[in-house]
Structure 1
Amino acid sequence: MTNHQLSDEEETEMLEQILSTATAETFRNFVCEEISLQADESVLSVGCGPGFEAAVLAQQVGEGGSVTGIDVNEDVLAAARNRCSNLSQVSFQHGDVTELPVTDESYDLVIAKQVLQFVDDVDSALEELFRVLKPGGRIAVVESARESEVMHSSDPEQMRRANEVYRTVRGDRNFGTQLLSLLPDAGFTVEDVVSRATVQREINEQVERGIEVQRGFLESSDAFDDSEIEAWEQDLRDLDEANQFLFCGITLLYISRKPE
């Protein structure tokens, strides 16, 4: 496996595999329950992916509400339109979170789930989310608390070094805890922070993608040679075969409001 840049088609296929898992469905439902959507509300789903989230949101706002999904990937949007083709209250647009193609103060609720970690200019992204939200409207932002992530290994020191490489490559894009300051700086009032622990006991599609990304980081680093990379990955697969694979991490949901 190599950490190549995914094409739009490859990314769409990967998202379909990950977001159709029971783990992803459970987490989607958790977020939707926590934000307590009301019928007839207007919702913007930023980084909407292939439409799983939009379909759930549409059920909550009903035919009198509206859901707009925005994504940078045209192939993903095609899959989303197909998935939600029978939902008249759902629409999709191509766009980037730092330059949203919607007018000011258009939505009662904006959701950005696991989006900011991929954004270089997070301040501009938060300014855009603030702009498109109605006064008194809510924003739900979800990011992982990277410091909380742990993975079982037969070689803890090797795992520690691998995680150090990951953090170095990703830089400071650990917005899980930083949002407590970033959201107020952007003008929002943080009303609640809800945590949810995710436990993975097997290598599923989501974990496979994580291994692929991590392996790419290790291959581009001077800290690991080829034999060490192979040993790192093989250890995870051996543990999975022995029913001893374990990953745990905490995800944080920030529910904030734009002042009236």
Structure 2
Amino acid sequence: MDLVYQGSDIIQRRRLSFDAVLPKPAETILDIGSGNGLLSAELARAVGPGGCIIGVDPSQDMRKAAIARCAEFDWVEFRDGSAYDLPVETGSVDKAVSVQVFEYLDDLPRACQEVVRVLRPGGRLVVSDIHFDSWVWHTEDQPRMDRMIASWDDHFVERRVPAILPPILREAGVEVEDIRPVTLNDHELRPDGLARMMLTLMDSYARQNNLVSEADCTAWREEQEALAAEGRFFFSLTQFAVIARKS
């Protein structure tokens, strides 16, 4: 996982979010669902010691990894919390960013209202998620692929966040300024690519939760490995950064 998160596909995804945030020296930026701290570290370098990066994540293991990764930046801190209950004072941050978090939330209006609360007037918000209807994955057994994708849908709440989020944000009091895409494509099944990560995670999730038979999981993974060996592999998925500003 750490290899993939530092690989080219996830770097593209992180760069999309970083560029959308447009970090500037001395700003205070909130990283919602900061995970292992890769984006927090990049934001820390951009704002410099005059700024402040606050990472919020409910996972103690993730916070521990993020603290170690950002140890050199005295202006970065990580707090226990969720998108529904941010441990941040009202109107105290210049910008907020969330990457691959909102798809797991069952109350998007509540999360949007909470992040708007902590933003200063004119503050910038970036919510970056995959629209899973953009998923294209070549197979010679489409029903089996459909079963694998349906099983993966079971692990999150909403697969269409970029499409349904703008009106929710407007209702919460922010103006949507732009929506920027980046398409992650692989035709080789690269070791550090998103497709390789998805192949591993989906196989494991489907097996552990008894959503797809062991035989189907094995056949699905073997088919994809074989297609890659034959030069017939194809995978594509699009991430969108929704950019908004507090009124």
TM-score, normalised to structure 2, is 0.88
The whole-number CA distance in structure 2 between the counterparts of 1:241 and 1:138 is 45
Q: Is the 1:116–1:175 contact (alpha carbons within 8 Å) kept by the matching residues of 2?
A: yes
The whole-number CA distance in structure 2 between the counterparts of 1:93 and 1:167 is 29
Instruction: Decide whether aligned partners of structure 1 residues 158 and 184 sit closer, same or farther in structure 2, where only a CA change above 3 A counts.
Output: same
| Residue 166 (structure 2) aligns with | 180
Equivalent residue in structure 2 for 1:28, among 14, 24, 45: 14
Q: Is the 1:47–1:69 contact (alpha carbons within 8 Å) kept by the matching residues of 2?
A: yes
Local SS of the residue matching 2:106: coil
Equivalent residue in structure 1 for 2:99, among 110, 113, 124: 113
Instruction: Decide whether aligned partners of structure 1 residues 80 and 159 sit closer, same or farther in structure 2, where only a CA change above 3 A counts.
Output: same
| Residue 8 (structure 1) aligns with | none
Local SS of the residue matching 2:134: strand
Instruction: Decide whether aligned partners of structure 1 residues 141 and 212 sit closer, same or farther in structure 2, where only a CA change above 3 A counts.
Output: same
Instruction: Decide whether aligned partners of structure 1 residues 173 and 155 sit closer, same or farther in structure 2, where only a CA change above 3 A counts.
Output: closer
Instruction: Decide whether aligned partners of structure 1 residues 225 and 47 sit closer, same or farther in structure 2, where only a CA change above 3 A counts.
Output: closer
- Residues 201-210 or 37-46, more deviating: 201-210
| Residue 246 (structure 1) aligns with | 234
Q: Is the 1:58–1:89 contact (alpha carbons within 8 Å) kept by the matching residues of 2?
A: yes
AA of the residue aligned to 2:218? E
Local SS of the residue matching 1:147: helix
| Residue 191 (structure 2) aligns with | 204
Instruction: Decide whether aligned partners of structure 1 residues 237 and 254 sit closer, same or farther in structure 2, where only a CA change above 3 A counts.
Output: same
Equivalent residue in structure 2 for 1:49, among 35, 44, 50: 35
The whole-number CA distance in structure 1 between the counterparts of 2:133 and 2:86 is 30
> Which runs of 5 or more residues in structure 1 are unaligned?
1-13
The whole-number CA distance in structure 1 between the counterparts of 2:32 and 2:102 is 10
- Residues 99-108 or 204-213, more deviating: 204-213
| Residue 124 (structure 2) aligns with | 138
Q: Is the 1:46–1:111 contact (alpha carbons within 8 Å) kept by the matching residues of 2?
A: yes
- Residues 207-216 or 117-126, more deviating: 207-216
The whole-number CA distance in structure 2 between the counterparts of 1:168 and 1:43 is 32
The whole-number CA distance in structure 2 between the counterparts of 1:56 and 1:172 is 28
Equivalent residue in structure 2 for 1:229, among 198, 217, 224: 217
> Which runs of 5 or more residues in structure 2 are unaligned?
none
| Residue 122 (structure 1) aligns with | 108
Q: Is the 2:12–2:182 contact (alpha carbons within 8 Å) kept by the matching residues of 1?
A: no
CA shift for structure 1 position 28: 1.8
The whole-number CA distance in structure 1 between the counterparts of 2:113 and 2:103 is 16
AA of the residue aligned to 1:241? A
The whole-number CA distance in structure 2 between the counterparts of 1:225 and 1:117 is 26
AA of the residue aligned to 1:72? P
CA-atom RMSD in angstroms: 2.2
The whole-number CA distance in structure 1 between the counterparts of 2:154 and 2:30 is 33
Instruction: Decide whether aligned partners of structure 1 residues 107 and 147 sit closer, same or farther in structure 2, where only a CA change above 3 A counts.
Output: same
The whole-number CA distance in structure 1 between the counterparts of 2:184 and 2:200 is 19
Local SS of the residue matching 1:85: coil
Aligned residues: 243
Q: Is the aligned partner of 1:81 residue 2:67?
A: yes
Instruction: Decide whether aligned partners of structure 1 residues 77 and 228 sit closer, same or farther in structure 2, where only a CA change above 3 A counts.
Output: closer
Instruction: Decide whether aligned partners of structure 1 residues 78 and 121 sit closer, same or farther in structure 2, where only a CA change above 3 A counts.
Output: same
Cα distance per residue 1:56-100 (max 9 Å; x no partner) = 111211221111111111122122112111112211111111111
- Residues 85-94 or 187-196, more deviating: 85-94
CA shift for structure 1 position 170: 4.5
TM-score, normalised to structure 1, is 0.84
